[in-house]
Amino acid sequence: MTTTTDVVNPATEEVIEQVHLLGPEEVDSAIERAAAAQRGWARLAPGERARLLRRAAEAVDGAAEELARLEVSNAGHTISNARFEAGNVRDVLAYYSGAPERLFGRQIPVAGGIDVTFREPLGVVGVIVPWNFPMPIASWGFAPALAAGNAVVLKPAELTPLTAIRIGELLLEAGIPEGVFQVLPGKGSIVGWRFVTHPLVRKICFTGSTDVGKKIMAGCADQVKRVTLELGGKSANVVFADADLERAAASAPAAVFDNAGQDCCARSRLLIEASVHDRFLELLEPAVRSFRVLDPADESSQMGPLISAQHRAAVAAFVPEGAPVAFAGTAPSGPGYWFPPTVLAPVAPGSAALSEEIFGPVLSVVPFEDEADAIRIANDTNYGLSGSIWTRDVGKALRVARAIDTGALSVNSHSSVRYWTPFGGFKQSGLGRELGPDALDGFTELKNVFIATDD
Summarize as ranges the residues that interact with ligand NAP (CB under 6 A).
128-133, 137, 155, 157-158, 187-189, 192-193, 207-209, 212, 215-216, 230-233, 264, 357, 359, 385, 425, 430
Please state the closest distance from residue 190 (CB atom) to ligand NAP, in A: 9
Asked about 230 being catalytic, the answer comes back as yes
Of 354, 343, 340, 347, which is closest to residue 312 (Cα–Cα)?
340
CA angle at 128 for the pair 126 and 133, rounded to the nearest 5°: 140
Please state the closest distance from residue 230 (CB atom) to ligand NAP, in A: 3
Active-site residue (options: 205, 220, 264, 265): 264
Round to the nearest angstrom and report the end-to-end CA distance of the chain: 66
Which of 268, 301 has the CB closer to ligand NAP? Answer: 268
Please state the closest distance from residue 226 (CB atom) to ligand NAP, in A: 15
Which of 265, 276 has the CB closer to ligand NAP? Answer: 265
Maximum separation of any 2 CA atoms in the chain, in Å: 84
Contact at 8 Å (CB) between 421 and 215? no
Neighbour count for residue 430 (Cβ, 10 Å):
26
Which of 8, 385 has the CB closer to ligand NAP? Answer: 385
Active-site residue (options: 71, 85, 158, 230): 230
Give 228's strand partners. 205
How far is 188 from 318, CA to CA, in rounded Å?
26
Please state the closest distance from residue 89 (CB atom) to ligand NAP, in A: 15
How far is 423 from 415, CA to CA, in rounded Å?
12
Report CA-CA distances (Å) from 136 to 15, 124, 378: 24, 20, 27
Cβ burial of 299 (10 Å; 0-12, 13-18, 19+) is: exposed
How far is 255 from 265, CA to CA, in rounded Å?
8
Please state the closest distance from residue 356 (CB atom) to ligand NAP, in A: 10
Which of 197, 448 has the CB closer to ligand NAP? Answer: 197
Which of 258, 273 has the CB closer to ligand NAP? Answer: 258
How far is 376 from 34, CA to CA, in rounded Å?
47
Please state the closest distance from residue 282 (CB atom) to ligand NAP, in A: 31
Asked about 264 being catalytic, the answer comes back as yes
Which of 391, 406 has the CB closer to ligand NAP? Answer: 406
Burial 51-75 (b: 16+ CB within 10 A, else e): ebbebbbbbbbebbeebbbbbbbbb
Task: Give the active site residues.
Answer: 230, 264
